Amino acid sequence: MSYLGLFEKIMKDIQENYSYVKFKKHSPLDTLKEYANDFNQIDNEAKFINKLVGILALFKDPHINLTYEDNKGRRSSIKTLSKHPARNYDHELLSRKYLSNGIIFENKVGMIGMIKDVVYINIFTWWGLKKREVNRLIKQFKKIVSKKNSKKIIIDVRSNNGGSDLLSGKFLSLFIPKNKKLYISKYLHRLSKRNPNKTGRIWKRYQDSDAQPISASLAVLIGQNCMSSNEYLVMGFDALRDYLKKNNYSNAINLVGDRTFGSSGNPKEFSYLSGRLKIGIPSWICYTSKGELLEGKGIKPNIRINSNETIFRGHDKVLEKAITILSK
């Protein structure tokens, strides 16, 4: 198969299987027509892969992922996003200035400390391969909150790109009122290759409460780097915030920072070049419990601080705002 033929095959697979195809500015079939001549002139595999990554970046979806193994057996996972979201998080500043009195617990997936009388937890990832470390972080968090008898908590997930919904959901369950099943989001799956608009029945996702849920006022720090299963967590806190207000609970939840990225796709893998090239194509459409599309829109904070204006002159405005809110 020629490189043009391979590109045509990939674009058609995306057209037929990509759940968000109707929401994107770039149509796979139009993209095929626009760049066909470019791929017709490519004469080696390395150039093909480099060009393909640029094309996939047009869809602005981190769940369209690409894994490639060259002829020498060297394997690499290549990010297809051409531009990374603005950061509103500085780990060095955080550790040096705000947690200067020491960190109570730290491992590869996060850290826990105290800022005055507020318990602070920073969770870097929900990656499934780090399950043991995530579970240990959650266990230590519960112990520290109980020991400190804290009613004020900051949950910082600004640098968390996601991983496992099961792990983020496990953490979320710590804050859901006892015996309550909270409606978080809904998903639709593509059913027809010929008709991108045809989807299956709605699959609603609920999260149960923990056996001994934590009752506290929360500030959840978010931003544009929050994606995927981390957005499941943020959606959960957004739904929980509405539930607590509606039912007159005394503990409040505030989402502080910038809008999340907006990406959740449950990618299915498609193979090319005898299995050396693999592309993950998102298979579902995600909506919040409010019925709003997540893709490309994200979760809106109720206290917004623009990502580009967060870290300024040695100050973390998002974190400082959260401290101010919880001190009232």
Tell me the domain boundaries of the chain. 3-78, 91-327
Enter the pTM of the model: 0.92
CATH of 91-327, one of 3.90.1200.10, 3.40.50.300, 1.20.1090.10, 3.90.226.10: 3.90.226.10
Question: What is the rounded distance in angstroms from the CA atom of residue 23 to the CA atom of residue 214?
Answer: 39
2: DSSP letter: -
pLDDT in tens, 196-252: 666 777 899 999 999 899 999 999 999 999 999 999 999 999 999 999 999 999 889
pLDDT level of residue 26 (50, 70, 90 thresholds): confident
Question: What is the rounded distance in angstroms from the CA atom of residue 123 to the CA atom of residue 89?
Answer: 12
pLDDT of 193: 63
71: DSSP letter: T
Contacts of 129 (CB under 8 A, 6+ apart): none
DSSP per residue over 297-320, as a string?
Answer: T----SEE--GGGTEETTEEHHHH
Burial 87-97 (b: 16+ CB within 10 A, else e): bbbbeeebeee
